[in-house]
Amino acid sequence: MSKINVAVIGGSAAYNLLKEKVFGRVTDTPSVETPYGQVDDIKLVNHAGMKFYFLSRHGLERYAVTAPFINYRANIWAFKELGVERIVSWSGPGIINPNLDVGGFAVPDDIIDMTKSRPSTFFTKAGLGFIRMSHPFCPELRHALLYSVGRMDGNAVEKATYLCTEGPRLETPAEIRLYHSYGADLVGMTLCPEAFLARELEICYAAICYLTNYAEGLVEREFRQGVLFEGMTTGDEKKKVDQALDLMPEVMAEALKVVHSQPRDCQCKNAMLRYRKQGVITEDWRKWIDP
């Protein structure tokens, strides 16, 4: 049996896709013990001829865990324990850049972290973690995702800055104006610290976003009680978002096929090389959190 070294982290509605058995053959994997808690929900998926690990970021039942309370460190550690070298994820952010369209795709190349209280590093001891972030998302995985979307007759924005907020509340109009002034194109709640933690353990990571709504204040929308986002998305926009989401399993599988047999020539795999060369850490990554 060939080694499975790729994984998908599913964002919004991933739990529904699992229930609807969209992902071909799915089997449970053993629970993974980590220094940050036990991870029980990783699945082994055989979809479209590609085997990969799969984790529904928000749990297996509806939105069981909101973004601020996801155990990001345990999730990334568990994938490393399973031998994962590359992770692709999806996220459903709102739009800040008015030139983007609801229901479209974007493969962000940069990120702004506006979270407030999430543990964002494995390295709480020994002064580790000064890692350059010229490319916070793996360029090789980004190219694979862009290629994959193209194969599905979709178009993805190739350059976009994702701004990550704390949540779970949505943003105020004033906050969106501020984030626009920062140069952000998208606003979501989940890619931080996920991307940074993956880099600390030298795992390649990139995300594809399907764009769910215009952020608060970008367009005029009547407040509607009792519906998703209280009316920020119209019925027609919701249909486009659902169509984009339906493509996610194939996009993920195709992207992983592209990179699965290719050597990792990116910088991600050597993020901690400086510390190894200095003798501060060894090749045993499990000891990095307390070297």
Measured CA to CA in angstroms, residue 285 lies from 55, 145, 280, 281 at distances of 22, 28, 12, 8
The contacts of residue 226 (CB under 8 Å, 6+ apart) are none
Q: Going residue by residue through the chain (291 aa), what tens digit of pLDDT does each one get?
A: 458 999 999 987 787 777 777 777 888 889 999 999 999 999 999 888 889 999 999 988 777 899 999 999 999 999 999 999 999 999 999 999 999 999 999 999 999 999 999 999 999 987 899 999 999 999 999 999 999 999 887 789 999 999 999 999 999 999 999 999 999 999 999 999 999 999 999 999 999 999 999 999 999 888 888 877 887 888 899 999 999 988 888 898 899 999 987 899 999 999 999 999 999 999 999 999 976
Residue 2 confidence (pLDDT): 58
Residue 178 confidence (pLDDT): 98
Amino acid at site 204: C
Q: Is 77 exposed, middle or buried (0-12, 13-18, 19+ CB in 10 A)?
A: buried
CATH T-level fold of 6-287: Rossmann fold (3.40.50)
Query: What's 210's DSSP letter?
Result: E
* Other beta carbons less than 10 A from residue 15's beta carbon: 19
Enumerate the domain spans of the chain.
6-287
